[in-house]
Amino acid sequence: MFTALQADRPQSARGCCKRRVGEGAGPCSRGGLRSLPLPVIMQKFLSNLLIFSALSLCALCAFQWVRESHLRRDIADLQHTVYLKLDMIQNLESQLKQAKEEITRLDNLRVELSGIIKTNKEEIQSLTKYSEKLEKEIEANKAQIAVYKEAIDKANENIKRQNEDIKKQNEEMKQLATDRNATVEKYNKVVEQYNDLVKQYEKLQEEAAKGAKGTEKK
């Protein structure tokens, strides 16, 4: 574009600049724009504007390149962050799944334990009633045992008295047996004496009979 503008420059202006290069003062060498024609001024302005636009475009391209490099770096950081977040989300989802499974397991365990607790409560109530029944039976048995103990004590006292009576009766029986034996012994002696007397009497009778016979013979 700049070359095309140079080609469109008027021949008079170019010739003027070429003719006045070696001369002392001229409109091109002095930089005076008032003596130049309007198309030359516009062309110069457009050239400067083009240069400024090109520099501005270069600056804009450089700025955009820097900005895009920063954006690419930010995008890379964001992608890395997104990757980390996704990995974290996956880990959290896995942990959430495990937590849900654990919650389900604990809930099932809670239900099971609730059933066991209910059963244990029922068993405890049944055992409590049975324990109360046993306590009443124990109290009744204690009272019955007290009655039995009193009866046994009385029976022991009676047995003790009976034993004493039996002992006394045994002693009396022993004494009676001793007396009986003594009486029997005395009786036996009397019988023996009686038998001796009978024998003596019979002997005397025989002797008397013999004496009587002898007397009759004489």
Q: What is the pLDDT along the chain (218 residues), one digit of tens a residue?
A: 333 334 344 443 344 443 443 344 444 444 444 555 677 888 888 888 889 889 998 998 988 899 888 888 888 888 998 899 899 999 999 999 999 999 999 999 999 999 999 999 999 999 999 999 999 999 998 888 888 888 889 888 988 888 888 888 888 888 988 888 888 888 898 888 988 888 888 888 888 887 777 676 65
Per-domain residue ranges of the chain: 1-20+30-60, 77-178
What single-letter DSSP state applies at residue 28?
Answer: T
Burial classification of residue 13, based on how many CB atoms lie within 10 Å of its CB (0-12 exposed, 13-18 middle, 19 or more buried): middle
- A 10 A CB-CB count for 53 gives 13
DSSP 218: -
Contact 28, 40 (CB under 8 A): no
Whether 35 and 27 have beta carbons less than 8 Å apart is answered as: yes
